[in-house]
Amino acid sequence: MAEETTFRPGLEGVIAAETEISWLDVDHEQIVLRGYDLLELAQKCPYLSVAHLLIAGRLPDKEELTALEQEIAQETPLPQPVVDILAKLPRTAHPMDLLRTGLSALGPFDPDLEDHSSEATWRQSIRVLARVPQIIATGWRLQQEEPIVENDPKLGYSANFLYSITGKRPTQTEAAAFDELLAVYSEHELPNSTFAAIVVASTLTDLYSALVAGVASLKGPLHGGANEAVMHMLIEAKTPDGLERLILDKLAAKERIMGFGHRVYMHKMDPRAQLMKTALHQLVAGTPHEGLFDLCVRGEEVMHREKGLYPNLDYYAAPVYYVLGVPIPLYTPIFFAARTAGLLAHIREQYAHNRLFRPRVRYIGPQGLHL
């Protein structure tokens, strides 16, 4: 019998992996990504540089970044059968279901599928970074019965991702805000979706199967699905007083307020939320969306007063997506697209230093029964 160890519901506070990729240094309110501060990276580096740091283990020089962009551009087109599969799914299917299905269908088209070597998983990572945004944008445009938008070679990776969704070339400001949003979402230690991916990867199954486990997890409203719910709440509230009333009614009904609280940050502000709050303030200044910032601030004040809780990234990311013209059902799929960089890094690390995950249980059921 394994020696009795403490049972922690939800593995709360349990160290479940050793990693060189990232760490939430809560005491110093810093998110460490391979030694750098995520917030500094998000403000000073393009998303693809952060992705290279995560997956390859170091920041790319200018030539390496250009090479990465070119390789991604070459791998961007989706295999036509994958597009056909997306087109066959119900128009009412949630974009996270299209993403899970499309990502799963991509696997068999990857010639390196069963090769877990560093070189092969690097090539697979390029294909995933190229094609996940395409699955999201193509799936959405098919559902809306709008023409699929071809990438514009004059636009960068993030700008093309936003363009492929909205059909409108983003301004410099919009492209910069979207790129910062992708970088801020790129990696966050061991959330449920990353844990799901490495647990699955630890059986030495293929990289796409591990990623699909991550999508399945992230769809849940307690995790990635919160950003969509935040925007619906803000729209329903309309005004700061309306939001205060809505939150108080939800709390009275013992409901969770999406966008608040965090397993790790507990009673501290998610550092990423602070960065997105600043980004939102800058984005809406002087625009018809100006009231959105004051609306969000009121919600933050009410939750702090009533529950001592702080916003997590989703609370301020949701209105940034909204101002950028991203359709609400795509908030969580874009969260996943950004997080593929972190997931790919963790899956590669798991392959390189593998130990099959197989925890034990504390059995509390009946014993000694006989037929």
Coil vs helix vs strand at 32: strand
> Which structure tokens are listed for 363?
């059995």
Neighbouring CB atoms inside 10 A of 53's CB total 23
Identify whether 116 is a catalytic site residue. no
Q: Based on CB atoms, which residue is closest to ligand SDX, 87 or 248?
A: 248
Alpha helix (H) ranges present in 15-171?
Answer: 38-44, 47-56, 62-75, 80-88, 95-106, 118-143, 157-166
- Taking the complex as a whole, how short is the minimal distance between the CB of residue 282 and ligand SDX, in angstroms? 22
Catalytic residue among 116, 188, 314, 346: 314
Separation between Cα atoms, residue 8 and residue 281, nearest integer Å: 40
- Taking the complex as a whole, how short is the minimal distance between the CB of residue 302 and ligand SDX, in angstroms? 11
Q: Nearest to ligand SDX by Cβ — which residue?
A: 261
Give the single-character DSSP code of 9.
G
Give the single-character DSSP code of 148.
P
Does an H or E element contain 24, and which?
A: strand 22-25
- Taking the complex as a whole, how short is the minimal distance between the CB of residue 264 and ligand SDX, in angstroms? 6
> Which structure tokens are listed for 133?
């945004």
Q: Based on CB atoms, which residue is closest to ligand SDX, 151 or 193?
A: 193
- Taking the complex as a whole, how short is the minimal distance between the CB of residue 262 and ligand SDX, in angstroms? 5
- Taking the complex as a whole, how short is the minimal distance between the CB of residue 307 and ligand SDX, in angstroms? 5
Q: Based on CB atoms, which residue is closest to ligand SDX, 212 or 309?
A: 309
- Taking the complex as a whole, how short is the minimal distance between the CB of residue 371 and ligand SDX, in angstroms? 40
Q: Based on CB atoms, which residue is closest to ligand SDX, 100 or 219?
A: 219
Catalytic residue among 52, 262, 270, 346: 262
Catalytic residue among 94, 97, 112, 223: 223
Neighbouring CB atoms inside 10 A of 239's CB total 12
Its sign, for the CA torsion 342, 275, 254, 291, is: negative
> Which structure tokens are listed for 188?
């966050």
Identify whether 314 is a catalytic site residue. yes
Identify whether 262 is a catalytic site residue. yes
Q: Based on CB atoms, which residue is closest to ligand SDX, 107 or 220?
A: 220
Contact 243, 298 (CB under 8 A): yes
Q: Based on CB atoms, which residue is closest to ligand SDX, 169 or 263?
A: 263
- Amino acid identity of residue 200, one-letter, is V
Contact 196, 213 (CB under 8 A): yes
Its sign, for the CA torsion 98, 104, 107, 109, is: negative
Q: Give the residues lining the site for ligand SDX (CB under 6 A).
A: 188, 191, 222-224, 226, 256-263, 307, 309, 312-314
Q: Could you tell me which of 246, 249, 221 has the C-alpha nearest to residue 234?
A: 246
CA angle (272 as vertex; 266, 277 as ends), nearest 5: 110
Q: How far is the CA of 295 from the CAs of 39, 185, 238, 248, 291, in angstroms?
A: 24, 23, 8, 15, 6
Burial class (CB in 10 A: 0-12, 13-18, 19+), 209: middle
- Taking the complex as a whole, how short is the minimal distance between the CB of residue 192 and ligand SDX, in angstroms? 6
Any idea which residues carry the catalytic annotation? 223, 262, 314
